[in-house]
Structure 1
Amino acid sequence: MAGFLKRLFGREEGEAPRCAAVVPAAGSSTRMGGQDKILLPLDGVPVLVHTLRALERSAWITEIVVVTREDLMVPISQLCREGALSKVSKVVVGGASRAESVLRGIRALPEETELVAIHDGARPLVTPAVIDGAIRMAWERGAAAPAVPLKDTVKRAHDGLVEETPDRSALFAVQTPQVFAADLIRGALGKAVEEGAPITDDCSAVERLGMQVFLTEGDYTNIKITTPEDLAVAEALLSWRQS
């Protein structure tokens, strides 16, 4: 973190950071009926290719590392070549957990990387505004993530019995890319892996250290494809965007 602060306060106004993206794409896709969701076609193009193209369009992102399962190394590397994805510098094998997989991706980045944008491989509809907004905030504050206010009322329950109805106005659905100072997220994930902490997203690894994460404006169309229904919704959203 000290290295980030030194760069932050020593930089010139308007200077752009070196931001790299790490794309975890190593999941088992169990809720997709055993099919690898990142390879499924979306408007005739694999989901992962849509995701990587969205990241490539950001002028802030200098390179991309994809993290995947060993059995997907060859097909994903081939997709990147055939898709002319010039910012994809490496495809690396993930670990036993999301935290370990992302950490392996971060460790594959150049030492001079200042910011790391971690984006789900199964979020193909992310927009430039969402990507760039999170990067700008992280450049100023050290940690940022896009989010949208919840539309539904949420219940906290145990054994089917409602225990609490939280105030919806204070609840947000957090999306990706989640963007961090490289030193900060490297240390936070390293500690989480070392301690076996059950983290559900990368922000929670930073939050465990007592560090602040700032929310930026997300987009309701920035959905994560997890089930067959999600893929159908993504197809409809893509068609709606193109109409």
Structure 2
Amino acid sequence: MAEWLKRLLKRNREQQAFCTAVVPAAGSSTRMGGQDKILLTLGDVPVLMHTLRALDSCPRIQEIVVVTREDLIVPISQLCREGGFTKIKSVVVGGASRAESVLRGIREASEEAELIAIHDGARPLVSQAVLDEVIRKAEECGAAAPAVPVKDTIKQAVGGIVERTPDRSELFAVQTPQVFDGALIRGALAKALEEGAALTDDCSAVERIGMKVSLTGGDYTNLKITTPEDLVLAEALLEWREKL
């Protein structure tokens, strides 16, 4: 039996699992016109600072590892110091792909880390409710991710011609954090990289080795900032949420 599964079965349910949050923030931001989206201002502070505040405030997360590009190590390290965060363990240089970057972050986690929560640096509006639910679920089953039902009808097309219309009731937009047993995701990512597998997200790494991923409730406000329009929407959502 795999070591991660043995741990899962033996875990004392009254004891909270040690969880390390790995924050990939090493992208090229090409769809943002070359600007580093994680350093753009959202509500007077950088996007990444909102993200780290949410993770730092989560009682179920014990430490945070930020993974970024080599040229951003200094500004992001400074941002972490200025933010007054208490759970930042390290800021490390990522790799050539997201999977490689995430794996480097996982390898920086403390030895006692049982769970790894992988959360996009450009998802600054993640709520405590989303964080709590997905971490709890991963603690129970080994792999979990928040998701929301898709709102639009989805068409599958080839060469601009519609081939089929999937049943919308079965379609979900998956968000982050995606949370896994530490040994499971470490092994799955290493295997995917070794085999040159194309991964669309971190769940894909464990799915391809036969592991089931449980979905928990996501939040439509937990958007990923990718384009300039996303930043405008995030500003509006931040203002709206602060008025609630």
TM-score range, shorter chain: over 0.9
Residue aligning to 1:219: 219
Residue aligning to 2:198: 198
Hey, which bits of structure 1, 4+ residues long, moved more than 2 A?
Answer: 1-13
Percent identity for Structure 1 against Structure 2 = 72
Residue aligning to 1:164: 164
Per-residue Cα deviation, 1:137-184 (whole angstroms, up to 9, x for no partner)? 000000000000000000000111000000000000000000000000
User: For 1:184 and 1:7, how far apart are their aligned partners in 2?
Assistant: 11
Per-residue Cα deviation, 1:182-214 (whole angstroms, up to 9, x for no partner)? 000000000011111110100000000011000
The one-letter code sitting in structure 1 at the alignment partner of 2:54 is A
Q: How many angstroms does 1:112 deviate by? A: 1.6
User: For 1:13 and 1:231, how far apart are their aligned partners in 2?
Assistant: 40
Q: How many angstroms does 1:85 deviate by? A: 1.2
* Superposition pairs of residues 14-163 of structure 1, within 5 angstroms: 14-163=14-163
1:61 is paired with a residue of what secondary structure? coil
Unaligned runs of 5+ in 1: none
Aligned CA RMSD, in angstroms, stands at 0.9
User: For 1:11 and 1:141, how far apart are their aligned partners in 2?
Assistant: 11
User: For 1:9 and 1:181, how far apart are their aligned partners in 2?
Assistant: 12
Q: How many angstroms does 1:2 deviate by? A: 2.9
Q: How many angstroms does 1:8 deviate by? A: 2.5
User: For 1:195 and 1:12, how far apart are their aligned partners in 2?
Assistant: 35
**Count of equivalent residues:** 243
1:49 is paired with a residue of what secondary structure? helix
Is the Cα–Cα contact under 8 Å of residues 19 and 117 in structure 2 kept in the other structure? Answer: yes
User: For 1:116 and 1:13, how far apart are their aligned partners in 2?
Assistant: 18
User: For 2:110 and 2:65, how far apart are their aligned partners in 1?
Assistant: 11
Q: How many angstroms does 1:5 deviate by? A: 2.6
Per-residue Cα deviation, 1:1-55 (whole angstroms, up to 9, x for no partner)? 8333333232323210000000000000000011000000000000000000000
After TM superposition, the structure 1 stretch with the greater mean CA deviation from structure 2, 2-11 or 49-58, is 2-11
User: For 1:125 and 1:185, how far apart are their aligned partners in 2?
Assistant: 25
